[in-house]
């Protein structure tokens, strides 16, 4: 695996920030999946 360093401005990182609740959270113009859809926090019901 080759890892490359990219300098990204914070304004670019939050560009296109979308919080779709159960569908996930995205940023960086849709290229960064901050919280994938399959996280368990929305799967289980409260007791």
Residue-range domain boundaries for the chain:
10-42
pLDDT per residue, tens digit, the chain (47 aa), is 999 998 999 999 889 999 988 788 999 988 999 888 875 655 666 66
Per-residue pLDDT, 10: 92
Spell 3-16 as b/e; 16+ CB within 10 A means b.
eeeeeeeeeeeeee
State the Cα–Cα distance between residues 43 and 24, nearest whole angstrom.
Answer: 13
Mean of all residue pLDDT scores within the chain:
84
pTM confidence score: 0.59
Nearest to 14 by CA among 41, 2, 38, 32: 32
């Amino acid at each position: 695996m080759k890892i490359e360093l990219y300098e990204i401005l914070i304004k670019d990182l939050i560009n296109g920030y979308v919080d779709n609740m159960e569908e996930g959270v995205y940023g960086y113009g849709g290229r960064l999946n901050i919280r994938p859809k399959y996280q368990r926090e929305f799967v289980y019901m409260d007791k």
